[in-house]
Amino acid sequence: MKRAILLAAASGIALTGAAHAEDSITVVSWGGAYTKSQVEAYHKPWMAKTGGKIISEDYNGGLAEVKAQVEAGNVTWDIVDVELSDAIRGCDEGLLEEIDHSMLPDAPDGTPAEEDFISLALHDCAVANIVWSTIFAYDGSKYTAFDRPRSMADFFNTKKFPGKRGLRKSPKANLEMALVADGVAAADVYDVLSTAEGVDRAFAKLDEIKDSVVWWESGAQPPQLLADGEVKMTTAYNGRIFNAMASEGKPFEIVWDGQVFDVDLWVIPKGAPNKEAAMDFLAFSTDTQRLADQAAWISYGPARKSSAPLVGAYNSDPDLEMGPHMPTAPANFMNAIANGFEFWADNQDELNERFNAWLAS
Amino acid sequence: MTDASYQVDAVHRTQTDASGLLLAADGTPLKKKLREALKVSRRRAFLLVAPLLLFIMASFVIPILLLLAQGVKDSTFSSIMPESTAILSEWDAKSDPSEEMAAALVADLISAKATDRSLATKVGTRVNREVSGAISLFKKTTRKASKMEAPFLDALHATDKKWKDPAYWKAMKIASQTITPAYYAAAVDKKYLADGSFVDQPEDRQIYVKLFVKTILVAGGVMLCCILLGFPVAYLLAHLPARKANLLMILVLLPFWTSLLVRTTAWIAMLQSAGVLNDIFVWVGITTDDQRFSLIYNMTGTIIAMTHILLPFMILPIYSVMKAIPPSHVRAAKSLGATNWTAFWRVYFPATVPGIGAGGLLVFILAIGYYITPALVGGQDGQLISNFIAYHMQKSLNWSLAAALGGILLVLVLILYWLYDRIVGIDNMKLG
């Protein structure tokens, strides 16, 4: 009996040892439909190719966990999907590994990676995989064909379109959208927002709808709020709304006017336990084919120019072309704002404080 | 033997020394002997609790103290920028920035960049908490620092005109202080200035004082609701026949054992505008379909859910106290002519006060630091101070401000505890 236990213990040790010998990495992303698109397009092919294992974890954005892990010297995450402003800030604060861009594969036609990626995509510590966008959406079945919201101004007009609004509980994107609704051209938004009067103007616009706002925090909430009828319109990440439409048949409609687009990027926390494998995964998952594959699962645009022609139809519906649903499609891009990460790096302390005070008052 | 002779005998048997101190049989003073005997048992008791004490110190007290220290100590700037720190401490924050200050700044930035390129931005991030725009300013300046030549003040002005603004220099002076009241000041809506004085934050950025008040009011409100709802339940529990009382007890304990998250989420399903309660209201005709009540994602939701979750902490202490009140007291009161009400109010109720006190204190202190429930069902106006502590820990990464807010909350709880001790008396509390 004793021997059997010993044997079991020994084989247990051998098993865990074996698992460590292979490349096993922890990939952290935003959960829901988005993580699923990455699992299908990146994780599974990478595991098939290298024989490594991927542990997929969800989080809600922000640098807090990365900072806590790095500062405690106990890093368990190998690679994390972050927003642009966090990638820049994390790099500046020394929380992230630097990434050598020369290890990224070239496009199939031989264009070097440095040129193939869109602007905004490559940074010292981060490589972008997708372009996503904050848009607003409504439930099409609640409005008649003639009388439905068409512009950002309609979102802020509760007289013409009564009912609750969903907004992300953060000043980011909200202040920009408020200014667009107030008549500022997308290209001038950050110039206006850089002045004290501009900030007052944005908050004044938000004041108009404050009493009808339901605040959301995680990306999975807005489609749920819409489906439950808790709100009439909500801002959301475009891919989440698209997936509710495409895979669950919800009658949602996206309004692209005043969209705030941004990139999501892979970063590697400083001192990641499996840095080599994480780097390999990073290079693999951002090659031309993988980025194009991901677009079949969620309507986020690939961060490489060479991926665009390869983007096909939705995975479960060959008639549903993904191209027109991308934030970067020309028709959607008419009045788009590029997230001003430098503006937010400088002003987020002050604007977050003001936003919180405004919320609580 | 008479009483008197007995006393005389007793005096004879205990010895006394010259000064009248009692002595033991071997001649040492009795007090000393007693102290020695107690010392042994005290040491044994201490050894018995030592492992727990060590564990609590290492895992609880020391981390808390370290975190609290972060609220007043911030060495980011002073450790990376030693020369600037020395010069800034002598600057009066009124005269124009001098050439020496500029030279020290450039020298510090060059040496910081040589060590690790992230250091200069760390400094920028710290200064940015005092004045917006410092992050990009420090990045830009660090990039060009190694090419700068004297006079450095002009070189800085040429790099970015922000350096002409004394606000950035003053912010650096504040950031350069290792021990700083800036965070505690921010935690009570004040701003610490470079000349050492404090001013109110602008109106549109004041938030924390209101939140502390709101948190105390909510905790007090939840405590009152718990007393009002919990007292009758505890009374029933203590006075029903055992079989029925046991069933009722299970109904109290089941939610107590259920995960907090599950209970909070259940309230969301109950209270949301398309939820069960609103459906019933519409069906009964209390309200119409497009005018459903907002019962959740606001203060109402927070108070309802918190009251429900904290109710067992009120019921159980009151119940255990009621169980110990002899029924004969009320019967005696009635036999002496008291009405039902008088017997209850003058005899029974005063005996339950220790239980109400214990439950009240427990609920209040739990409620004042409540976090998950307000975060989930609080919406915009149902957020409490603990939500902002979490916000600064997780989102803004301003741990120093979180520590300052936490420190104030801790002091508030201690003050309330002291008040409670003065008014009700802590010995009067009975937990079971």
Pair A295, A212 in one domain: no
Q: What is the CATH number of the domain that holds A92?
A: 3.40.190.10
* Residue A73 pLDDT > 80: yes
* Residue B340 confidence (pLDDT): 92
**Beta carbons of B211 and A360 less than 8 Å apart:** yes
Residues A38 and A143 in one domain: no
pLDDT bin (cut points 50, 70, 90) of residue B432 is low
Same domain, A53 and A174: no
Q: What is the DSSP letter of A167?
A: E
Residue B1 pLDDT grade (very low, low, confident, very high; cuts 50, 70, 90): very low
Residue A21, pLDDT score: 38
pLDDT confidence bin for A12, thresholds 50/70/90: very low
- Residues in A lying within 8 Å of B, measured between beta carbons: 62-64, 67, 89, 91-94, 169, 203, 213-215, 228-230, 342, 345-350, 352-354, 356-361
Choice between A138 and B425, residue whose per-residue pLDDT is larger: A138
What average pLDDT does the segment B299-316 reach?
Answer: 92
Does position A2 have pLDDT exceeding 60, yes or no? no
Per-residue pLDDT for A109 more than 80?
yes
Averaged pLDDT for residues A234-259:
93
The region of weakest confidence among A167-176, A264-273, A304-313, B372-381 is: B372-381
Residue B225 Cα, gap to closest chain A Cα (Å)? 24
Q: In this structure, are B273 and B363 located in the same domain?
A: yes
Q: Are residues A269 and A245 in the same domain?
A: no
Q: Are A96 and A282 in contact (CB under 8 A)?
A: no
Share above pLDDT 90 across residues of chain A, in percent, rounded to a whole number: 62
Check if the beta carbon of residue B303 is closer than 8 Å to that of residue B222: yes
A219 with A345, same domain: the answer is yes
| Percent of chain B clearing pLDDT 90 (strictly above) | 50
Residue A18 has pLDDT above 50, yes or no: no
Residues in A touching B211 (Cβ below 8 Å): 360
Residues A51, A124, single domain; the answer is yes
> Residue A89 — very low, low, confident or very high, per pLDDT cuts 50/70/90?
confident
Cβ–Cβ under 8 Å, residues B193 and B413: no
Task: Provide the total of helices (H) and of strands (E) in chain B, helices listed first.
Answer: 22, 4
Which tens digits make up the pLDDT trace of B252-276? 999 888 888 899 889 988 988 888 9
Does the ipTM exceed 0.90?
Answer: no
Tell me how far apart the alpha carbons of residues B382 and B307 are, in angstroms, rounded to a whole number. 14
* Residue B20 Rama label (left phi>0; alpha psi -120 to 50; beta): left
Q: Are residues B235 and B366 in the same domain?
A: yes
Q: Yes or no: say if A72 and A257 are a contact pair by the CB < 8 Å rule.
A: no
Nearest CA in chain B to A358: B204
- Say if residue B191 is exposed, middle or buried (CB neighbours under 10 Å; 0-12, 13-18, 19+): middle
Q: Is the pLDDT of residue B19 over 90?
A: no
Final residue in a domain of this structure, among B42, B70, B98? B70
3-state secondary structure of B26: coil
Would you state the pLDDT for residue B231? 96
Query: What local confidence, expressed as pLDDT, does residue B18 receive?
Result: 65
Cβ burial, residue B227 (10 Å; 0-12/13-18/19+): middle
pLDDT band at B429 (very low <50, low <70, confident <90, very high): low
CB atoms B274 and A213 under 8 Å? no
Q: Is B27 left (phi over 0), alpha (psi -120 to 50) or beta?
A: left
One-letter amino acid for residue B26 of the chain: D
Q: Closest chain A residue to B139 measured between Cα atoms?
A: A92
Q: Answer yes or no: do B118 and A93 touch at CB < 8 A.
A: yes
Mean pLDDT of A80-84: 93
Please tell me the predicted confidence (pLDDT) of residue A151.
Answer: 94
Nearest one of A318, A289, A319 to A306, comparing CA atoms: A289
Q: What CA–CA distance (Å, rounded) separates B145 from B124?
A: 14
Q: Which of A216, A234, A344, A353 to mutate to test the interface with B (most CBs of B within 10 A)?
A: A353
CATH code (residue B260): 1.10.3720.10
| Alpha-carbon span A184 to B71, nearest angstrom | 41
Angle at B376 between CA A340 and CA A345, to 5 degrees: 15
Given this model, what pLDDT does residue A10 score?
45
pLDDT of residue A16: 42
Task: Report residue A342's pLDDT band, with 50, 70 and 90 as the boundaries.
Answer: confident
Give the integer Cα–Cα distance in Å for B367 and B215: 8
User: Taking 80 as the threshold, does the pLDDT of residue B284 lie above it?
Assistant: yes
Query: Is residue A263 helix, strand or coil?
Result: strand
Distance CA B307, CA B222 (A): 5
To the nearest whole number, what is the mean pLDDT of chain B? 88
A20 has pLDDT over 80? no
Question: Which residues does chain B have within 8 Å of residue A215's beta carbon, measured at their own beta carbons?
Answer: 297, 379-380
- Chain A residues with CB under 8 Å of B124 CB are 92
Q: Which of A77-81, A324-328, A350-354, B390-394 has the highest mean pLDDT?
A: A77-81
pLDDT at A9 over 60: no
3 state DSSP class of A75: coil
Per-residue confidence band for B294, with pLDDT thresholds at 50, 70 and 90? confident
- Overall average pLDDT of the B306-325 stretch: 93
The band of B427, judged by pLDDT with boundaries at 50, 70 and 90, is confident
A275 and A310 belong to one structural domain: yes
Helix axes B276-284, B260-271, angle to 10 degrees: 30
Amino acid (one-letter) located at A221: Q
- If asked whether residues B365 and B282 sit together in one domain, one would say yes
Chain-centroid distance of CA A16 in Å reads 34
Average pLDDT, chain A: 89
Express each pLDDT in A261-281 by its tens digit: 999 999 999 999 999 999 999
Residue A11 has pLDDT above 50, yes or no: no
Q: Do B297 and A360 touch (CB under 8 A)?
A: no
Tell which residue, A319, A268, A320, A323, has the closest CA to residue A292: A323
Q: What ranges in chain A are assigned the alpha helix state H?
A: 2-21, 32-38, 44-50, 64-72, 84-92, 113-116, 152-155, 174-181, 189-193, 196-209, 221-227, 238-248, 275-285, 288-294, 341-360
Q: Which residue has the higher pLDDT, B395 or A298?
A: A298
- One domain, residues A286 and A197: no
pLDDT per residue over A46-71, tens digit each?
A: 999 999 999 999 998 888 899 889 98
Give the closest residue to B195 by CA, choosing from B324, B92, B105, B272: B92
Residue A307 has pLDDT above 80, yes or no: yes
Q: Are residues B242 and B382 in the same domain?
A: yes
Q: b/e per residue, A109-119, with b = 16+ CB within 10 A?
A: eeeebeebbbe
Between A120-129, A343-352, B15-24, the lowest mean confidence (pLDDT) is in B15-24
**A356 and A235 assigned to the same domain:** yes
Domain, as residue range, for A223: 133-262+329-360
Mutate to test the interface with B, among A218, A225, A346 (most CBs of B within 10 A): A346
- Give the per-residue pLDDT at B15: 63
CB contact under 8 A, A346 and B132: yes
Q: Do A94 and B118 touch (CB under 8 A)?
A: yes
Let me know whether A160 and A216 are in one domain.
Answer: yes
Binary contact (A360, B380; C-beta < 8 A): yes
**pLDDT on residue B93:** 86
pLDDT of res. A220: 86
Domain edge (last residue) among B49, B70, B91: B70
How many domains is chain A built from?
Answer: 2
User: ∠ at Cα A237 (A236, A241), nearest 5°?
Assistant: 75
Do B179 and B242 belong together in one domain?
no
Is the same domain home to B188 and B216?
no
Domain shared by A240 and A314, yes or no: no
User: What pLDDT does A281 receive?
Assistant: 95
Query: Quick one: CA torsion of A315, A150, A262, A336, rounded to 10 degrees?
Result: 120
| Domain extent for B399 | 208-428
Asked whether the beta carbons of residue B133 and residue A346 sit closer than 8 angstroms, the reply is yes
| pLDDT exceeds cutoff 80 at B111 | yes
User: B84: helix, coil or strand?
Assistant: helix
- Which pLDDT score, from 0 to 100, does residue A78 have? 96
pLDDT at A99: 94
Residue A180 has pLDDT above 90, yes or no: yes
Question: Between A301 and A12, whose confidence is greater?
Answer: A301
Same domain, B237 and B342: yes
Can you give the pLDDT at residue B420?
Answer: 83
Q: How many domains does chain B have?
A: 3
Q: Does A80 score more than 90 pLDDT?
A: yes
pLDDT at B225 over 70: yes
Based on the fold, state whether residues B311 and B374 are members of the same structural domain.
yes
Q: Is the pLDDT of residue B2 over 50?
A: no
- The angle that helices B349-368 and B299-323 make with each other, rounded to 10 degrees, is 140
Based on the domain organization, do B10 and B134 belong to the same domain? no
Quick one: B279 and B319 in the same domain? Answer: yes
- pLDDT-derived band at B17 (thresholds 50, 70, 90) equals low
Q: Do residue B130 and residue B264 come from a single domain?
A: no
Q: Which of B48, B70, B92 is at the close of a domain?
A: B70
Does residue A345 share a domain with residue A197?
yes
Query: CB of A178 within 8 A of CB of A205?
Result: yes
Domain co-membership, B242 together with B286: yes
Of all residues in chain B, the percent with pLDDT exceeding 70 is 94
Confidence at A202, pLDDT banded by 50, 70, 90? very high
